[in-house]
Amino acid sequence: MTESIISLDSVNPIEFFGVNNGKLDLLKKKFPLLKILSRGTQLKLSGSAEEVATAQEKIGQIVKYLERNGNLSENYFEQILGDEEVSVDNFSDRNPNEVLVFGPNGRTVRAKTANQKKMVSMVDKNDIVFAIGPAGTGKTYTAVALAVRALKNKAVRKIILTRPAVEAGESLGFLPGDLKEKIDPYLRPLYDARTI
C-alpha cells in the first residue's frame, strides 16, 4: 500500500474541490480503488502504487490548469480525469504569477494595468515601495491584495493597516465621536479592499 500527500496551496481549494465537493466526488469515482481524503489544502491518496501514480499525474494536470487559469469547469475536470490525453498547455498562456490572490467565491485578483503590474514586480524586489498617482487607480487595492498574498504564503504573520490622516481644514480633535469614528473615514479604502 502506497500513501501520498499532495499540497494544493498554489490553487484555490474551492476551484479544485468544487461546490459541495462536487469535483472531489468525481475524482473519487474515477479512482474507486483509492482512499482519497482532503484536509484543508492537502489531499491524501492511499492505495496501490500504480493507482496512486496515475491519480498524482491527473491531479498534477488539474493543478497546472488551475494555476494558469484560476478556474476549471466540471466538464473539463472530467475530461482531464478521462482516459484520453488532454493538453492543459493549450488552454491559456497566462502567467500563473499574475494571480495575486483568490478572493471570496474563487474570484481571482490580478494586477490589471501596466502600473499595477509594475507595482507588483517592485514589491517582489524591494522591501519598501511608495505608490503615487491619481485616486481610483488601484494603488490601495493592489497593496492590500499583495499583503493578503504574503499572509497566505506565510511570508508575514500579520498585516498592520496604516494610513496617514490628511486633515481637511480642521483637526481630528474637533470631529464628533470617539477615536474609531474619527479615523474610519480615512481607513475606508482599506476596508473596501478587505473583501479580497
In angstroms, the CA 54 to CA 4 distance is: 12
Q: Are 65 and 88 in contact (CB under 8 A)?
A: yes
Residue with cell 501514480: 53
Choosing from 26, 61, 91, the residue where a domain stops is: 91
pLDDT score, position 161? 76
Domain final residue pick, 91, 123, 150: 91
> Do 55 and 102 belong together in one domain?
no
Q: What is the pLDDT along the chain (196 residues), one digit of tens a residue?
A: 889 999 888 888 888 888 888 899 999 999 999 999 988 888 999 999 999 999 999 998 888 888 877 777 787 888 888 865 555 554 444 444 477 777 666 677 788 888 888 899 999 899 899 988 888 888 888 888 898 888 888 888 998 877 665 655 555 556 677 777 767 776 776 666 655 5
72 and 101 in a single domain? The answer is no
- 45 and 118 assigned to the same domain: no
Distance CA 114, CA 184 (A): 31
Both 61 and 108 in one domain: the answer is: no
Both 61 and 109 in one domain: the answer is no
As a whole number of angstroms, the distance between CA 53 and CA 102 comes to 29
Instruction: Give the model's pLDDT for residue 163.
Output: 65
Same domain, 107 and 86: no
Asked if residue 112 and residue 77 are part of one domain, the reply reads no
Same domain, 73 and 107: no
List all residues 6 or more positions away from 116 whose beta carbon is below 8 Å from its beta carbon.
137, 138, 142
Q: Residue 194's closest CA among 156, 161, 163?
A: 161
Are residues 81 and 113 both part of a single domain?
no
Containing 193, the helix (H) or strand (E) segment is helix 179-193
Contact by Cβ (8 Å): 47, 1: yes
CA atoms within 13 A on the CB side of 28: 13
| pLDDT score for 65 | 83
- Give the up-direction half-sphere exposure of residue 48: CA atoms within 13 A in the CB hemisphere: 6
| Total number of domains in the chain | 2
Same-domain check for residues 70 and 108: no
The domain boundary residue, chosen from 40, 60, 91: 91
Residues 158 and 118 in one domain: yes
Q: For residue 13, what is the domain's CATH number? A: 3.30.1370.10
- What does the pLDDT read at residue 194? 57
| Enclosing domain of residue 153 | 97-193
Give residue 122's pLDDT: 92
Based on the domain organization, do 27 and 79 belong to the same domain?
Answer: yes
CB 63 within 8 A of CB 11: yes
